[in-house]
Structure 1
Amino acid sequence: MSTKEKILAKALELFNEKGYNNITTRHIAADLSISPGNLHYHFKHSEDIIKILFTELILKMDELLNKIKKKENKTLEDLYLLTFSTCEIFYHYRFIFINLVDVLKKIPEVEAKYEGINFSRREEFQLIFSDLQKNNIFKKDIPDFIMNSLTEQIFIIADNWLTHNRLISKLNKKAAIQSYTLLLMNLFYPLLNKEQQTLYEQQYIR
């Protein structure tokens, strides 16, 4: 692992553990037993580290979504795996969501990317939901306003569940990912056809 990779890994660990606002480049350097000058050779400011970590998050989500979009016959299990994997990725970069307002305020470049991603992700989810309708996983007669609300509901929960867990649920990693995956999946239950609802109850509820 290169020095740059070590810095990114340590920064992510410290940001997740102690919060974005409580960690400086000096803290990261001290934890790695390197000089601040050595760290600043790679990253002048902590904001530069955040930009790369945020880009990593986007790329991991791109890879995940591209994988399911390419699959022609999408199933309930595919939807569950997408939701579970998304929660795993978000947990890995949890400081970004727990400190989202501060991060976006301090780093306009990240704010611009966040806004752009929200727009593109909305279209990607709509395509996935449309495929699930074609494959008779979702009901055919779901009103557009429900589908549009669904996407918004997913985004609101996805961006905020880590804060809710830290403040209210206080679950460990494994339990948190499982619990909030199910919470998100329950949004889909009313949209499933009868057969898929029964399958959902058997596989994920009982």
Structure 2
Amino acid sequence: MGTKEKILAKALELYNEKGYNTITTRHIAAELSISPGNLHYHFKHSEDIIKILFSELIVKMDELLNEMKKNENKVLKDLYDFTFSTCEIFYSYRFIFVNFVDILNNIPEIKAQYEGINFSRKEEFYFIFSGLQKNNIFRENIPEFITDCLTEQIFIIADNWLTHNRMISKFEKEKAIHHYTLLQMNLFYPFLNDEQQKLYEQQYIR
């Protein structure tokens, strides 16, 4: 691992542990036992580190979504695994979501990128929902306004569950990921057909 990669890894660790607003490039350099000048050779500002970490998050989610979209024979477990993996990825970059408003306000590039992602993600979720209907996981004839609402609900939970966990639930990693995976999965329950609802209860609730 090169110096640049070590800086990114340590920055992610420190931001996750202590928060975006409390960690400076000097803190990161000290933890790595390198000079601030050495760090600034690779990253002029802390915002440059944040932008790369945010891009890493997006790439990981793109890969996950692409795998889900390519799967033409989706089953209920695929939806659960996708939701679980999403929570794992978000937890790995949890400082972004806990400090979301500050980051968006302080780094215009990330704000613009996030706004664009929101639009593209809606299209991707529509595609996934259609596939779930095609494979008789979701019910047929779900009204479009309900699908629109579901997509927005997913975004709201996905963007805010880490803050809720830190403030209210205070679960450690494994329990947090499991709990909020089920919380998001429960959104899908009314859309499952009767057979899939029974399967969901047997596999994930009981």
> Which residue does 1:13 correspond to in 2?
13
Tell me how far 1:47 sits from its aligned partner: 0.1
Tell me how far apart the structure 2 counterparts of residues 194 and 141 of structure 1 sit (CA, whole Å).
Answer: 14
Amino acid at match of 1:194: D
Report the TM-score, using the length of structure 1 for normalisation: 0.99
Indicate the SS of the match to 1:201. Answer: helix
Q: Any idea what the Cα deviations from partners look like across 1:133-177, whole Å, max 9, x if unmatched?
A: 111100002111111100000000000000000000000000000
Indicate the SS of the match to 1:34. Answer: coil
Matches within 5 A, 1:23-102: 23-102=23-102
Tell me how far 1:107 sits from its aligned partner: 0.4
Q: Any idea what the Cα deviations from partners look like across 1:66-115, whole Å, max 9, x if unmatched?
A: 00100111111110011000000000000000000000000000111111
Tell me how far apart the structure 2 counterparts of residues 96 and 14 of structure 1 sit (CA, whole Å).
Answer: 12
Tell me how far 1:179 sits from its aligned partner: 0.1
Report the TM-score, using the length of structure 2 for normalisation: 0.99
Tell me how far apart the structure 2 counterparts of residues 143 and 122 of structure 1 sit (CA, whole Å).
Answer: 16
Matches within 5 A, 1:1-206: 1-206=1-206
Tell me how far 1:5 sits from its aligned partner: 0.3
Amino acid at match of 1:193: N
Q: Any idea what the Cα deviations from partners look like across 1:29-87, whole Å, max 9, x if unmatched?
A: 00100000000000010000000000000000000000010011111111001100000
Which consecutive segments of 4 or more residues in structure 1 shift more than 4 A? none
Count of matched residue pairs: 206
Indicate the SS of the match to 2:44. Answer: coil
Amino acid at match of 1:92: S
Deviates more, 1:138-147 or 1:87-96: 138-147
Amino acid at match of 2:196: Q
Indicate the SS of the match to 2:21. Answer: helix
Tell me how far apart the structure 1 counterparts of residues 176 and 57 of structure 2 sit (CA, whole Å).
Answer: 19
Tell me how far apart the structure 2 counterparts of residues 63 and 144 of structure 1 sit (CA, whole Å).
Answer: 27
Tell me how far apart the structure 1 counterparts of residues 75 and 126 of structure 2 sit (CA, whole Å).
Answer: 15
Tell me how far apart the structure 1 counterparts of residues 116 and 83 of structure 2 sit (CA, whole Å).
Answer: 21
Tell me how far 1:22 sits from its aligned partner: 0.2
Amino acid at match of 1:52: I
Amino acid at match of 2:201: E
- Stretches of structure 2 that go unaligned for 5 or more consecutive residues are none
Indicate the SS of the match to 2:138. Answer: coil
Tell me how far apart the structure 2 counterparts of residues 98 and 118 of structure 1 sit (CA, whole Å).
Answer: 18
Amino acid at match of 2:7: I
